Amino acid sequence: MSKKPNGKGKRYTDKEKSQVLEFVDKVNAEKGRGGITAAAAKFNVTPLTISNWMKKTDATPPSVRSGAHFSSNLRRLADIHEEIMQAETVLTKLKREYAALKKKL
C-alpha cells in the first residue's frame, strides 16, 4: 500500500470497497473460507482493513458468523437426527403392519 505525502494511507472509494467485499463473499461462497486473504493479495489491501470494512457493513466472515451459533446449530442437528430416527422407527412398524394386512387380503 503506497503512502500519500501527508503520511496517511490510501483512501478507497465506496466502489473499490464494494468490489473487494464482493470478491471476499465470492471466494468464501466457493471455498468456505479464505476470502479475506485472497482479496488482500489480489487488491493489495491489508486483511485488517478488509475486516474493518466488513464490520462496518456488518458483513462478518462466515467463520465469525457460524462460530457464535455453533453450539446451538450442533444441538439442533442432534435434535433433528433424533426426530428422524424416531420417525424411521414408526415408519418401519407401519410398513410391517401394512405388509401383514396385505397378506391377509
User: Do 14 and 54 reside in the same domain of the chain?
Assistant: yes
Claim: this prediction has a pTM higher than 0.75? no
Alpha-carbon span 101 to 104, nearest angstrom: 5
The pLDDT value recorded for residue 82 is 93
- Taking 60 as the threshold, does the pLDDT of residue 78 lie above it? yes
Contact 40, 51 (CB under 8 A): no
Tell me whether residue 32 is in a domain. yes
User: Do 94 and 55 reside in the same domain of the chain?
Assistant: no
The pLDDT value recorded for residue 61 is 54
Tell me whether residue 4 is in a domain. no
Comparing C-alpha atoms, which of 41, 63, 71, 8 is closest to residue 54?
63
The pLDDT value recorded for residue 101 is 95
The residue segments making up the domain with residue 15 are 10-60
The pLDDT value recorded for residue 67 is 58
To which residue does cell 428422524 refer?
84
User: Do 74 and 36 reside in the same domain of the chain?
Assistant: no
Helix residue ranges, H only, 1-105: 14-31, 35-43, 47-56, 62-104
Contact 15, 53 (CB under 8 A): no
Which burial class, exposed, middle or buried, applies to 39 when counting CB atoms under 10 A from its CB (0-12, 13-18, 19+)?
A: buried
What is the count of structural domains for the chain?
2
Tell me whether residue 91 is in a domain. yes
Tell me whether residue 2 is in a domain. no
pLDDT digits (tens, 9 = 90+) for 17-74: 989 999 988 898 888 888 999 999 999 999 999 988 988 877 555 554 555 567 777 8
